[in-house]
Amino acid sequence: MVSSAVRIEELERISASIRGRSLRMVHSAKTGHPGGDFSSTDILVSLYFGVMRAGGTWTNAPDRDRFVMSKGHCSGAFYCTLAEAGCFPAEWLDTYMQPLSMLNGHPDRNKLPGVEANTGPLGHGMPIATGMALAARISGASWRTFILTGDGELQEGSNWEAAMTAAHYGLDNLTLIVDRNRIQQGAWTEETIRLEPLADKWRAFGWAVHEVDGHDHAAMLELFGRLPFEKGKPNCVIAHTHKGQGVSFMMDRPEWHHKVPSDAELAAALKELQS
């Protein structure tokens, strides 16, 4: 049996690899969202390699868990995760955002294996994920639905309409993870539209809420292992993260929401990630 320490070490290795690969993709494409890629990487890795059930394959098994990347602008980390999970050949990553590439700036389920929903316009993922969870409930299926949103994304009202619907139907097979890095395009979230007290808002909408360090694989695996948190309530995990996690000059810097690294910055970042 593989020890838990070895397992966590492997998840950390995958995360570091995904951060490096996604940053090289952004550098090559001359566009992307590396700050959010880095804040969400550990969450994605914990879900795909420690929590969600593939049912044999992520692309077409009827009993696979579903995942919706609502913050679709952070496609670099998402695509790297899907490639690592075997959804498509890693070589495809080299085509990121190139003309006619299947790896668009935002995920497209009609083009890329492993993508469950088209996302990009913020606030669309929650209604889609809620519908998926309700469909599983109606059909008596055992698969679960997970969704990752940005925190600034929660300023879109459609999230809260879906939140009311999920609570009304008691969708405890639905788990929302909020990437709470506290930065959105151009500024900190609390300077733009205040979100706090965020946990209390979700509880008021009828959700079971827990908070976790979104860069601590062990803590996330333990918490997700307790799903559902309360029978008859949808699950909300507020994952506290850092924009640009893993690279000192990127971390907690609003400009890295949508910034392309120079050649020197790329080299410096890769050196930090490999150390």
Residue 1 has a pLDDT of: 39
CA distance 113 to 39: 24
pTM > 0.85: yes
pLDDT more than 90, % of the chain: 93
CA distance 137 to 160: 20
Residue 3 has a pLDDT of: 56
pLDDT more than 70, % of the chain: 98
Residue 2 has a pLDDT of: 47
For the stretch 176-219, pLDDT in tens is 999 999 999 989 999 999 999 999 999 999 999 999 999 999 99
H/E element holding 136?
helix 125-139
Residue 146 has a pLDDT of: 98
How far is the first Cα of the chain from the last one, in angstroms, to the nearest whole number? 28
Residues 263, 112, 110: CA angle, nearest 5 degrees: 130
Average pLDDT over residues 171-175: 98
For the stretch 52-71, pLDDT in tens is 999 878 888 999 999 999 99
pLDDT greater than 80 at residue 83: yes
For the stretch 18-40, pLDDT in tens is 999 999 999 999 999 999 999 99
Given a contact cutoff of 8 angstroms between Cβ atoms, the answer to whether 150 and 184 are in contact is yes
3-state secondary structure at position 146: strand
